[in-house]
Amino acid sequence: MTVGGVTGPEGPSSRGWQLTSAYTAAVVAGVVLLALGVLGGRADLALIGVPGLLAAAWARSGRPGLAGDTAEATAEDAEPRGTLQEPEGSAAAGELTATLRVDPGAADVVHLRIGAAGHRTTEVTLRTAPHPTPHPTPPSHPAPARDVPLRLSSVRTGPQDTFAIDLRGSLRATWEQEPVQVGSTRRLVLPAAAPLGRLPLPQRLRGLTGPHSSRRLGDGAELRDIHPFTPGDRLRRIDWRTTARRSPDLDTLYVRRTYATAEATAVLVVDSRDDVGPDLHTWRGYGTLRVDEPTSLDLARHAAASIARALVEGGDRVGLEDLARRRRPLPPAAGRRHLRRVVHGLALAHPKDRASVHRVRPPQVPADAIVYLFTTVLDDEPLHLVRTWRTKGHPVVVIDTLPDVHPVTENHLRIAWRIARLEREDRLAALTGEGVPVVRWAGSERDQATIRFETLARAAERHVPGRTGTP
């Protein structure tokens, strides 16, 4: 799908051709040499300037698109054009690709300046391929279009600016086109999901079917007890060995009762009010975030996508809530299609003005659902949310998404970060003291997140009788 084109100050239009500085230098040099030769009586000096003037006159008469060249060619048709073609749909994290199609028109050389946010600018010069004929390429038969592959590497996710390209064509080093822009676009980069093992689940499971053994009586694989036969029990549940041992005369039949299977419900709550990087200089909105360093929101998207994928693959239901956006949340559901909706919603999460996103009430969570909160814990709002959810009986797991902060040399920044870090450590200590598990998802500690989740899942199983929680 074509998503870019040649644009100017007033949209797509012809910018025209103009003479180059080489032409001006040739004319000036020829006039000066001819004048010096005439005034000084130096015929040889005057003859040196004549070829330059003749070449300039010949080059000027060959302006691209003149009616004298061909009746079919126009100035607009002779101008080089560029079209940026990007793949349809959203892009995956890590690498963005596109193709720039260059139509050289009457130009024999096309100059490109390719840039992107956070990357160095690259300049490329394309010499157009000659027309496959034994004679030079006439203006009525322009060179074929050229495809230039483009590739952009970045660990950032969400809406991202792609390639910004300036294009300029030249002909015989005499005529050049004014630079035009190939429109830059924004693409939605989806977060990637890391493989995870077992995850903590809620204590009560309300689903009618699923991969986990619930605490209520029903059809399942885990044995609950042996009970005398009652009306409503299925005949295939009769345990004949127990019946023969306890009631040799078959006066009473005994059946094997099991725990019912069910599915868990989890709600992913992304605190997208903050999007801070490792560099403290960019926390106030100044400077440019590096494309090779993930921000806190990038880490939150990656962690949430990983947890959502593990839950959906285990047969559980997952919902999504964004603290910075006042819109209808994504209700819990299961399936691959719903997982794509969750990942797409994570990619759309972005910070807004704090004054406009203050919540009077915390997000509503379905009954008996576990909450995964992804936050930087830079203020007291996460503590209020966690305490409210726990008061209502919801287990909460906090995912710490603050990246590892780079050391700074400025005294005022060092003092400010020390105060913010101490306050943040106090909040994390308060959560840990209240029994809320905190999992770090940044730097080298991200690799230990899988082990931490496994430990939390095993600890939850020891306190919930009658349920294994095995995916």
Query: Going by C-beta distance under 8 Å and a sequence separation of 6 or more, which residues neighbour residue 218?
Result: 258, 259, 260, 261
CATH of the domain at 300: 3.40.50
Direct distance between the N- and C-terminal alpha carbons of the chain, in angstroms, rounded to an integer: 41
CA pair distance 238, 257, nearest whole angstrom: 9
CA pair distance 250, 243, nearest whole angstrom: 7
Q: Same domain, yes or no, for 446 and 325?
A: yes
Tokens of 91: 């892009």
| pLDDT on residue 219 | 52
Look up the pTM and report it: 0.73
Nearest residue to 92 (alpha-carbon basis) of 183, 196, 194, 187: 187
132/399: higher pLDDT: 399
The 10s digit of each residue's pLDDT in 232-253 is 777 777 777 877 888 887 778 8
Nearest residue to 116 (alpha-carbon basis) of 290, 358, 236: 290
Q: Same domain, yes or no, for 342 and 274?
A: yes
Domain tally, the chain = 3
CA pair distance 467, 470, nearest whole angstrom: 9
Q: Same domain, yes or no, for 74 and 156?
A: yes
The 10s digit of each residue's pLDDT in 337-367 is 999 999 999 998 888 765 555 665 778 888 8
10/158: higher pLDDT: 158
Is the model's pLDDT at 308 over the cut of 90? yes
Is the model's pLDDT at 369 over the cut of 80? yes
The answer to whether residue 195 sits within a structural domain is no
In the three-class reduction of DSSP (H, G, I as helix; E, B as strand; rest coil), residue 196 is classed as: coil
CATH of the domain at 112: 2.60.40.10
226/404: higher pLDDT: 404
Is the model's pLDDT at 264 over the cut of 90? no
Q: Same domain, yes or no, for 249 and 312?
A: no
Weakest-pLDDT range from 321-330, 379-388, 422-431: 321-330
CA pair distance 102, 81, nearest whole angstrom: 6
The 10 Å Cβ neighbour count of residue 432 is 12
Q: Same domain, yes or no, for 114 and 154?
A: yes
Q: Same domain, yes or no, for 222 and 301?
A: no
Q: Same domain, yes or no, for 305 and 409?
A: yes
| pLDDT on residue 309 | 93
Full domain range(s) for residue 16: 6-190
Do 409 and 382 form a contact (C-beta atoms < 8 A)?
no
Instruction: Tell me whether residue 75 is exposed, middle or buried, using C-beta atoms within 10 angstroms of its C-beta: 0 to 12, 13 to 18, 19 or more.
Output: middle
| pLDDT on residue 200 | 84
Select, from the ranges 57-71, 275-289, 417-431, the one with the highest average predicted confidence (pLDDT).
417-431
The answer to whether residue 196 sits within a structural domain is no
Q: Same domain, yes or no, for 227 and 290?
A: no
Weakest-pLDDT range from 1-10, 271-280, 295-304: 1-10
Average pLDDT over residues 217-236: 66
H or E stretch including 215? strand 212-217
